[in-house]
Every structure is written in C-alpha cells, then in structure tokens.
Amino acid sequence: MKYSILGVCVGLLLAAPGAAQNTPNVTLTSSVSYGVGTCADLWVDGDLLFIARRSQGFDILDVSDPDNPSGLFSGRSDLFVQDVKVDGTTMYCSNESGNGQSVVVFDIADPSNPIEIGSFGGLSMFACNNMARFGSTLYCCSVTGNRVVVLDVSTPSAPIEVTSFSAQSIIALVHDVAVVGDRLYVSWLSGGFEIHDISTPQSPSLVLAHQVPTSLIHNTYPLRDGIHVATTDEVSGGYLRIWNITNPATPNQVAQWRAHPVAVMHNLQIVGDYAFITNYTQGLRIVDLRVPTLPQEAGFYDTFPMVNPFAFGAWGVYAERNNVYVADFNTGLYVFDFNQVGGILSSAQTSVTWGQTINLSVGGDSTAATLDSLIIADLSFSISQLGPATASLFTLQGPFPAGFNGTIPYDIPLPAGGPPGPYDVTFTLTIADITNNLVFDTATANVQIN
C-alpha cells in the first residue's frame, strides 16, 4: 500500500511541466598585476581600496568602478606593511621593517597624496603584523612582544599605549585580531583562540580562551547567530572549524570543512551567512554557513594553478557589497562578483484533499554573468509517513542566460478517492553547479494531503 501511494504521486507529478534555472555565481571582473611576494592584507572604505604591499609599502586604488580599478598612490617602500585599517580620512599601517615605527598613521584626505602624521613604536611592540580598530582604540599584534597592544588613537597623530595582554596559553604566538560588535577575537596560532569583551574598549575582559593543540589558528570570526564562531587552520590540510560557544568554558566543535586535503587556509571574513576564505593554493572559497553544523561550499575562484602546501597564493580578502577583493601573494589583486544563487519554491496551499490541485511556484534568482558550468535544477518530494526516501519529480540541466529572476507555476492535480491520510509531503528544489560539484541553494514547501 505504501509503495502504491508513492507510485501514484510520482506518476502525477512527473506529468506536470516545470523548470528551474541557475548559473555560476563567482566571476572575475578585473585584476591588477603585482610583483611576486608584494601583496598581503587589504581594506575597502567606500570607493577606496587599500592594499598592504609588504616591502613595497602600500597602494591606494579607486574602485568606484570595480570593473576598472584605478591606481591613486603606490609607495613607502621604506616600510614593510602587512595590514591596513582606515577610519574616515585616517589610515593605519602595520609595519615590520624594524625602523622603530610599528604602526604608522597617515592623513588620506587626498588619497593620491597620503601624508604621514604620526606613529607608534616601543619595547612592547617593535613590529606589528595585524590590527583591528574599535572607535578610537586600535588593537595591535606585537610580533616582538607576542602580545596584543592596545592603543588610544583618539588623537591619530599621537597614539598612546593604554594596556596590553598576552595569551592564556604558554605556547601561543599572536597572529590575528578582529573586532565585531563589542567583541575582540584573537588568534594565537598554536595557542588557539580567545574572545574578549571590549564594551569598555581600552579595558579588554577575557570571555573565552580555547586551545586547539592540533591546529594553528590563523583567524577567528563570529557567525551572526551569536552562538558560533569560525576559525581557520594555517596548516597543510587544515580546516575551517565551526565552534558552539554557548558555554564559554567548553567551546564545542560542531563542524569542519576544507577545500583540499593538502592546501593551506589563510584569511577569513564572514559577511551575512557566508564565509569568504583565502586558501593559499585553492584561491577564494565561499562557504555557506546558514546551517552552522553543515557548512557547504557556495562558490570559488582558484587564483593559483597548482596545489603546494609550501607555496603562498591567495592571501587577503575583503567582501564589500557584491564585490569580493582578493590579494594574491604571487600575482596581485583580483576583483570578483559574487551573487547568491537562490532557489524559489512555494505552495499556494498548506493542506489539500484528494481531488484538489497543489499549486506550486518554482523558480530561481540569480544575476551571475557566466555560462561556463553545467547547472542542474531538481524538484523532488518525500512523504514523512513513508520514511526518508525521496523521489525526483523533474531534473533539468544545462546553461541558461544570466539574470534569471522569477517563477513559473507547477500544478499537481491529485486524483479523487486517494488512500486516507494525512500524508505530510515535503517538496524540495535543489539548484547546483554539477561541473564543480557545488550546491547553490535548496528551497522547500510543505503540504498535507488529507
């Protein structure tokens, strides 16, 4: 009896026409070539892009038209800049040149002519490799002091050290800091990660400290649900790890993901539900974190031609608006267009009886601009009373014109006098890039047949 019900439903549904379409969602829109070993972190502020150029100082570009970046300034090779942060018309550069200036401050009111207005250096921080800003406070990774140095930059031309702190772990090496809301996230490589309350910005208070002995934590960033954080391992074959931090005393790893069993992850930024990761020899990787316990790759663009655990490639990443900027250590700047690819599925009814019609709307939403991958759209269903098995109603595949955004009706007439219910039916639309084995999106609709 169960299988006869399933057969009736499959037969009816296969008879109805329908379609869902999509296209790859990461496209290269522009690039700027730089010399090998001269690109590190980057920052975007409005229409300006700032690139830390290591031994070449820093560059400032106009990206008001991301398809055509325009150089405004390139220079200060007397510095070794690994990171840049911007606040209005003030730019802060980390410096590892050893000249006594660990943080150098510039007035960028005229971005084509940045003017040095101040700096900070001292025994506590002879060199700085990474920074994060919260209001008039700057949190700096002191390479020489192996601690986080907190600077008051309310007067940008005269930064003042107000405090500093070291890790809870004795094997820690300070490496990265990030500020989201009133929390400071510190990555200590072999020393794991920490979270500090900075609601009083110049008096950080430890909330959580967690050591991960088998990993080198390069980045730590929160998911927007407030109860999970993500970390990246800067080791060959390392993972993007998702942690539940509901209990700060015992963070619990709930998921992990990696692009390749050998490649090395580097920087991480989370915007909305997506993690943007630079993976040295696997390029830009975008991971969907809408279900924190089940991270799924949402797209990628490989900027490196091979897999080599000893080589540097994609280094810095900044996601802004629909654009994603990547600085590749070997080749330069890349600008990508990322568009979330969404499936659309809804039902006009939540409950029907035999003899009525289920009216579905099926479609997709994409503004991607490429047509070079094979896209599959699959509509399937399951009936909870029959167990977890699913049956496909239709599967369409192939490229289609970019810019699709809409739905079509998909009507399912049910025969009269069907087996007594209720039957809880879940329809699922899956849109995927089968060339690169990526699931872009799934959408569901639930209907009860009585």
Q: What is the secondary structure of 85-104 as a DSSP string? A: EEETTEEEEE--SSSS-SEE
- Tell me, what's the pLDDT at 207? 96
Q: How many CB atoms lie within 10 A of CB 68?
A: 11
* Residue with more model confidence, 303 or 80: 80
* Cβ–Cβ < 8 Å for 41, 55: no
Q: What is the pTM of this model?
A: 0.74
- Tell me, what's the pLDDT at 15? 29
Taking the alpha carbons of 312, 145, 133, 71 in that order, is the dihedral positive or negative? negative
The mean pLDDT of the chain is 86
| Interstrand relation of 351-352 and 438-449 (parallel, antiparallel or unpaired) | parallel
* Cβ–Cβ < 8 Å for 410, 18: yes
- Per CATH, which fold does 2-24+341-449 belong to? Immunoglobulin-like (2.60.40)
* Cβ–Cβ < 8 Å for 5, 279: no
Phi, psi of 349 (to 5 degrees): -125, 150
CA distance 67 to 335: 8
Q: Which residues fall within 8 angstroms of residue 182, CB to CB, at 6 or more apart?
A: 134, 197, 198, 199
- Tell me, what's the pLDDT at 372? 44
User: How does residue 89 score in pLDDT terms, banded at 50, 70 and 90?
Assistant: very high
What is the DSSP track for 65-80? STTS-EEEEEE-TTS-
Average pLDDT in the 136-161 region?
A: 95
User: How does residue 436 score in pLDDT terms, banded at 50, 70 and 90?
Assistant: low
Report domain extents, the chain: 2-24+341-449, 28-338
State whether residue 60 is helix, strand or coil.
Answer: strand
- CB-based burial label for 109 (10 Å; 0-12, 13-18, 19+): exposed
Domains 2-24+341-449 and 28-338 share a fold: no
Structure tokens at 298: 């949402």
Q: Which of 56, 156, 155 is nearest to 105 (CA)?
A: 156
* Cβ–Cβ < 8 Å for 187, 234: no
- Tell me, what's the pLDDT at 11? 28
CA distance 286 to 221: 14
Kindly report, residue by residue over 301-356, the tens digit of the pLDDT.
888 766 666 568 899 999 875 689 999 998 899 999 887 667 789 999 999 999 99
* Cβ–Cβ < 8 Å for 149, 162: no
Q: How many CB atoms lie within 10 A of CB 230?
A: 24
Taking the alpha carbons of 396, 401, 404, 408 in that order, is the dihedral positive or negative? negative
* Cβ–Cβ < 8 Å for 25, 299: yes
Query: CATH top-level class for 28-338?
Result: mainly beta
- CB-based burial label for 267 (10 Å; 0-12, 13-18, 19+): buried
Give how far the C-alpha of residue 355 lies from the chain's centroid of Cα atoms, to the nearest Å.
Answer: 47
Q: Which of 39, 133, 26, 71 is nearest to 367 (CA)?
A: 26
Residue 59 CA: distances (Å) to CA of 84, 91, 266: 10, 12, 21
* Cβ–Cβ < 8 Å for 252, 210: no
Q: Which of 53, 74, 54, 61 is nearest to 31 (CA)?
A: 61
Answer yes or no: is pLDDT of 371 > 90: no
Answer yes or no: is pLDDT of 1 > 70: no
User: How does residue 142 score in pLDDT terms, banded at 50, 70 and 90?
Assistant: very high
Kindly report, residue by residue over 180-238, the tens digit of the pLDDT.
999 999 999 988 999 999 999 999 999 999 998 778 999 999 998 999 999 999 988 89
Answer yes or no: is pLDDT of 17 > 90: no
CA distance 174 to 72: 33
Structure tokens at 183: 């929390």
Give how far the C-alpha of residue 379 lies from the chain's centroid of Cα atoms, to the nearest Å.
Answer: 28
Residue 91 CA: distances (Å) to CA of 40, 124, 130, 325: 16, 22, 14, 19
